[in-house]
Amino acid sequence: MNWKHIKPEEIEKESMRIIASELVEQGIQIPKEHQGVVYRAIHTAADFDFAKTLVFTPDAVEKGVQALQAGCPIVTDTNMALSGINKGACTKLGVEKFCYMADPQVAQAAKEMGTTRAVASVDVWAEKHPTGIFVVGNAPTALIRMAELIEQKKLQPALVVGVPVGFVNVVESKGLIWNLCQSQKIPAIVALGRKGGSTIAAAICNALLYQASGRVI
């Protein structure tokens, strides 16, 4: 078999075309404003379930894009997600990105409180970035702590991305943050169910970053 040399951007373009075509074949219509996020999630995982499980509060994408254009920081629960968030797009928009999971002070605080590093990290988020874009791709305990701090008015997120993956407290924590964001009119993008992960979290951030910087899907 003879393989053609295809440029990376052409591979991505063709992948997006295939995703759009297969969604049509499955009878799934994605609202135009959500397509960038949904397509990138599907592209990252090769999993069309995200066309059904990703849910959006009204204007979540628009609000997220506006926040990024205003230089709002992105704070995430894993260094994997942090490294996957496009550095060039962040630099272009003046957006800083943070993760505190490896911070020794977070580790010490978690030990003293008898909790997870994710919970201790969220406490740092409230201290340093109370109005940031909060992106959770791994730890349901981070979503639970976020919900507590939102109710205490210590966090006022510009956007919540809740897509942890797994089996323990994952479905419940996503339901908790999704219901809270809806009731408090906080922009949110959540992957209901068990699926998600740091790569999906980064993909969603990148979809928003690309839109904010004028790049097409």
Contacts within 8 Å (CB) and 24+ apart, 141-145: 141/115, 141/116, 141/169, 141/173, 142/77, 142/118, 143/173, 143/174, 143/176, 143/177, 144/119, 144/169, 144/173, 144/176, 145/118, 145/119
Q: Interhelix angle for 140-151 vs 170-184, to 10°?
A: 30
Where in the sequence numbering do the catalytic residues fall?
43
Name the pLDDT band for 37 (thresholds 50, 70, 90).
very high
Burial of 160 by CB count in 10 Å (0-12 exposed, 13-18 middle, 19+ buried)?
Answer: buried
Q: What is the pLDDT of residue 2?
A: 60
Burial of 20 by CB count in 10 Å (0-12 exposed, 13-18 middle, 19+ buried)?
Answer: middle
First to last CA, the chain: 31
We find that the CATH architecture of domain 51-212 is 3-Layer(aba) Sandwich (3.40)
Section 35-54 average pLDDT: 97
Q: What is the pLDDT of residue 147?
A: 98
195 touches 137 (CB < 8 A):
no
Name the pLDDT band for 4 (thresholds 50, 70, 90).
low
Say whether pLDDT at 1 is over 70.
no
Q: Domain boundaries in the chain?
A: 51-212
